[in-house]
A and B are shown apart, each in its own frame.
Chain A
Amino acid sequence: MFKNEEMEINLGPQHPSTHGVLRVKLRLDGETVTHCRPMIGYLHRGVEKICENQSFFQGQVWTDRMDYCSAVANNLGWAEANEKLLGITVPRRAQYIRTLLNEFNRIASHLIWLGTHAMDIGALTVFLYAFREREDVLDINEAFCGSRLTTTAFRIGGLREDLPPGFEKMVRKFLAKFSDCLEEYEALLTENRIWKKRTIGVARLSAEDAIALGVTGPMLRAAGVAYDIRKAFPYAAYAEMDFEIPTRTEADTYARYQVRMAEMRQSARIIQQCMDGMPEGPVMAKLPKILRSEVNEVYHATESPKGEIGYYLVGEKGSLNPYRFHVRAPGFINLQSLPKMAEGGLIADVVAAIGSLDIVLGEIDR
């Protein structure tokens, strides 16, 4: 008379909290998830193939459109990988400006994460407050490179232009108010009993599992592994910056929240140092008119807000375009850990887990 049956349910591709076109096939026993399988590819545009067929210079616009929430970080990784492939040294001032913009981008990306994650869990207002500050960051992007989201910020060998007039004022204004704003978000979330209940102990991913699954970024640091490429393999001007790597050991959603909030504070600190210690000099290296590569292959990884973004480039002798262009997208690798986090939890925890992953489908599907 009674039948015990598991229900299969599709979370996505169109769903309010899968952050794009992610589809997760869930098998439910009541509300408990017994099986979880993420399915991706709905946003696949063949960025790697396109970049292989375009020159070194043109590839940047496609990196903007991979992880559109952190375009500057993608640009930075792309520029540095190309510079490594071609053997270019970048002037120091350009390095500082790159660092500065990258940290602004980290703040913007984390703010988007904070807003959407809080909204997934039901706190509507944090979303708008987070976007309020993100707006200022986008204005700064616009002032520097002319575009807000798809920045195309850097060039191989440095920058296109120096900082615009009035830039420093904008930055200082932002820094002056930012810590107050962070406190505002924290007043709404950190102590809140419901927020704590929804996040503490939810979607745990231990350090061993995280390393085995290749998870990087705040996800890994929330598990207690202080692995940050900015410190481990310093690039741009990070070797000269004084900052900390925030870590937690709980490895749950709340720990990831705390790590990201602390990272935003550290980013503000780095921006302050960049602004104070900005060296004078050119912003572009001396380059030949046409960039031609030698036979070479490089893998260059940088710390994007989501984790380790790596570019694997193969250069052909005398060629104008990369022979192979591969992106190690942090979201792609991090998303592998979703079944590990979600199975055994409730369906609401799947949403929290997806939120704490901070995925952007543009870079996962590429």
Chain B
Amino acid sequence: MNKFLRTLLPADIAKGLSVTGKHFRQVFFTANRRKVPFHIVSEYPEVPAKVQPRFRGRLTMLKDEQGVIKCVCCLACEKICPTQVITIEKGKQEGRKMPYPVRYDFEMERCIFCEFCVESCGFDAIILNHQFELAAYNREDFSLGTEGLGQNMFEPSHVGKFSVADD
């Protein structure tokens, strides 16, 4: 009899409905307010996403205070890279004892953002910055380097400029 009653009265379904109904009520009355967000989505392109300090984004080269590339072409990053996206050409620069990267190519479309290169670098010459909007229209836009047209390893402006928030 008890079982029959339980079958007849949909208490279990009512329990579920109350849970979803509670969330509906909370979100419905606060959806347009910023203070009490009962919804869990962030309105991404308008409200910029935050990343943790250790976030692994795009590979970037660093310069020292004099504006000289820190990299000394030890090729550690090239060797450690699991997907072989880094190509370095050693060279000389006048007035500099250490080797100078004539070319430092980085093919971002194959990069897997593992940070092994940064870890292997003994000179703190490269970092992974916090940029994660890495979309571009052309394939060649993903080939970054220290030289060449529009190829820049130093600033985060090259790719990811197609964010909706900017237009």
Where the two chains meet, the residues of A that have a C-beta atom closer than 8 Å to any C-beta of B are: 54, 57-58, 60-62, 125, 132, 135, 139, 142-147, 150, 152, 160-161, 164, 184, 187-188, 191-193
Contacts and interface: CB of A to CB of B under 8 A. Distances in A.
A61 B79 CA distance: 15
A57 B80 CA distance: 8
Contact of A146 (B10, B13, B15, B55): B55
Chain A CB within 10 Å — which of B10, B15, B16, B128 has the most?
B16
A191 B115 CA distance: 46
A194 to B, nearest CB: 8
B82 interface: yes
For the complex of A and B, the 7 pairs showing the least CB-CB separation, nearest first, are A146-B54, A146-B56, A191-B12, A58-B82, A143-B52, A142-B52, A188-B16
A152 B115 contact: yes
B130 to A, nearest CB: 10
Interface residues of B, number: 25
B51 interface: yes
A142 B132 CA distance: 13
Is chain A's binding surface mostly helix, strand, loop or mixed? Answer: helix
A361 to B, nearest CB: 19
Nearest to A131: B40
Contacts of B116: 57-58, 61, 152
A125 B12 contact: no
Interface in B149-167: none
B119 A135 contact: no
Contacts of A184: 19
Contact of A139 (B10, B52, B119): B52
B29 interface: no
B117 to A, nearest CB: 11
Contacts of A164: 52-54
B66 to A, nearest CB: 30
Nearest to A145: B54
B112 A144 contact: no
Given A142-B52, A152-B115, 12 more contacts: A125-B20, A143-B53, A147-B56, A150-B112, A150-B113, A160-B119, A161-B54, A187-B19, A188-B16, A191-B15, A192-B12, A193-B10
Contact of B13 (A125, A147, A152, A192): A192
Contacts of B40: 132, 135
A61 B53 CA distance: 21
B15 A187 contact: yes
24 contacts: A54-B82, A61-B82, A61-B112, A61-B114, A61-B116, A125-B20, A143-B52, A143-B54, A145-B54, A146-B52, A146-B128, A147-B55, A147-B56, A147-B113, A152-B115, A160-B119, A161-B54, A164-B52, A187-B15, A187-B16, A187-B18, A188-B20, A191-B12, A192-B16
